[in-house]
Amino acid sequence: MIDYARYDRVRAVAFDADRLRLLDQRRLPFEQTFLECRTADAVAQAIADLVVRGAPAIGIAAAWAVVLAGLSLGTASVAQARLALEPVLERLHAARPTAVNLAWALARMRGALAHAGEDWQARVRAEAEAIEREDLAANRRMGELGAARIAPGSGVLTHCNTGSLATAGFGTALGVIRAGVAQGRIARVFATETRPWMQGARLTVWEMREDGIDATLIADSAAAHLMGTGQVQWVIVGADRITARGDVANKIGTLQLAIAARHFGVKFMVVAPWSTVDLATASGADIPIEERDPAELLGHAGRRTVAEGVRAFNPVFDVTPAALIDAIVTERGVLLAPFDIALREASAAA
């Protein structure tokens, strides 16, 4: 039995009456500051600015943003609400195009509104609550399923941040790591810095420390050396989109970890809720890859560190082919190759 009170202490998204409180992840680990959003546009901007990040957390925040937009409509009829909220849904969707959880959550909110009567305010709020509640339950189940595949005494490496900060709680890949540590299966935890936003250095190791888990930070470029010296048996990552073929879009740098893992015989696990699965997208070649401002690579903390005139290329995600993945863990079970068949069967069973 996992002690969730010990291993699940952080919450990044909290709805409170007429506002959404977002733990500002740009300021961690040195400041724990909450940004209060009272409008859907403010939430959309917070998503774009990485105040809130991580595919599941983005979807949850967007769902609550629809609730905020609904509150601003007061006593509008359901027909008026559907008309007024559609542009809000579109603006939220445009905030981060790669993470399919965002589109999934907004589709659920649109569906709740479509089936609502004059109780539409209560219906959209209930749907947002359900999205958040279901994500937490899914994370805890995935944690136990994924940890069960890890041999006692193993070392694991994770990339980016996939914990409570990126979800409703407990986390996806970090949920597996939390469960594995709690069960005595994981003996060593390593986290990459995850450039250029340093989510591993700023967020992941901070989360692990909050839970009393000893995690070691490495430079992104040290990962292959770590695998080659036998200190890691599993690479465990999250996902922003999983295609029908089993190709996975995740934080930039994931692909090179998967290539190194295959070379050194290290197992590679992807952990994500079913809301991340996009069976309408055939393969990784069809995933839109978000590019952010090159300035993120040209400076640090608002100060330029690169010579003037230097250009930068700043894709935020890359795609790991299904052939490099050993297991995909969702709340519906542990999926193994061939992933196209496993994903179809899991979808049909549900």
The question of whether 240 is a catalytic residue gets the answer yes
Q: Which of 248, 326, 240, 233 is nearest to 284 (CA)?
A: 248
- Tell me if 101 sits within 8 A of 13, measured CB to CB: no
List CB contacts of 215: < 8 A, sequence separation 6 or more. 189, 190, 191, 204, 205, 208, 209
- Tell me if 339 sits within 8 A of 246, measured CB to CB: yes
Q: Which of 53, 165, 66, 51 is nearest to 106 (CA)?
A: 66
Q: Which of 22, 72, 70 is nearest to 43 (CA)?
A: 22
* Dist. CA 211–CA 339, nearest whole Å: 33
Give the CA radius of gyration of the chain: 20
Catalytic residue among 220, 240, 278, 318: 240
H-helix or E-strand spanning residue 13? strand 13-16
Q: Which active-site residues does the annotation give?
A: 240
